Structure 1
Amino acid sequence: MASETQSGAVRKAPEHVAIIMDGNGRWATRRGRPRLFGHHAGARRVREIVEACPDLDVKYLTIFAFSTENWKRTQAEVSGLMLLFRRYIRKESQRLLAKGVRVRFIGDRIKLDAALITLMDDLEALTAHNDKVHLTIALNYGGRDEVTRATRRMATEVAEGRLLPEDVDAETLGRFLDTCMLPDPDLVIRTSGEARISNFLLWQSAYAEYEFIDTLWPDFSAERFAEVLAGYGNRERRFGAVLA
């Protein structure tokens, strides 16, 4: 939430926060439990963070749930995750609706099973009129894959004469991205101590602030979230310019 510094300047909370939710497997392993146990704990943590957003003045929250690279994991873990996604949507849909959360999914749905896609479509439709928090879930998502798909769609419009090559610029490409309806993230958080972006929102995060923290995702509480946001309020964002 916005607060005042000693100099009287107002610290502004990030409007859009994106989170790489990392560390579920390690959290479970340290407790002698299977990795899926950690993923279930991580799913419960999502609810807490989403519901903390209004009080922290975060309007948009984007979470990285499953990457295009995660298919390389064991079949048992992938199948368990897909089952978890279906259960999460069924269990949380009415609560998300009641809390004023609008849900969107980004990523390539082609490899997802039909039942999951139907649940995703239904949840998007159910919450379409909500505006308190905009929750975007990246599922079978990769930044390079997204840009590739966007470029392909844009090239098709050029080939069909609906878009002139000389009119193509960065703003044009942005209109073809999965996130075309969202503002760019102001802050990207990665939990678990890893300091890499893992192909997440590559185009959109060009000028985002990054915060890499040691906390494993199932331990990332609303209080810890608030601490990270407070740190963001102390940063000076210049977007390539030199401020006087």
Structure 2
Amino acid sequence: MSVHAHDARGRRVLLAAATLATLAAAAAGCTSSGTPTSTSAAGAPTTTAPAASPSSVEVTTQAPATSAAPAGTAVPACSAAQLTIQTGVNQAASGHSYLTLIFTDSGTSACSLQGYPGAELTLPGGGKLDAERVGGGSASPVTIEPGKSASTFLAWEHFPQNGSADVSAADCAGYGATTLLVTAPNQTTSTHLAPPDSGSPVCWGFEVNPVVAGTSGR
């Protein structure tokens, strides 16, 4: 064999060996890396939902209750302009006489009377005879609704006090009275009324009682 043929074959062997070495290295590289491990992709950032805002709470504010009128609230006193004053029937029995005084609420609202009215006889010559308050104790207030009445009564003796037959009516304290002046309790304005009739002259014991409900005077 010639030297040239020997060298050519040697080069082919070397080339084949180099090719095999290259292929082996490539195969080793693939084997060492293996199947690439997929790296987890960075997840999208988790957005934390904001906590729900507290539900709006409806607060009911209760308005203060309207205060009711306290029990036992006093009814206003009757004014003189609110009252109509008149007399009832003059009654007489066994030397005693009684005359009812009636106070009617002629206004549009209730009012009250308490205590004694004033009662005064105007005598000839300008003299006066005042009724004495009797009945004792503390008089209770009387409420009068519009159109309703309260009353009291006057009482007196229509014979002379000593009962003597020779004492005339002219000797009576209230003899010849021309006017009966009546003033409602706690007022100052008087109403002029006719005096007791001449058949029942006011001789003595002229008295007035506290007002009561109704028209009887008692």
Q: Normalising TM by the smaller chain, what interval? A: under 0.3
Q: Which has the higher helix share?
A: 1
TM-score by length of 2: 0.21
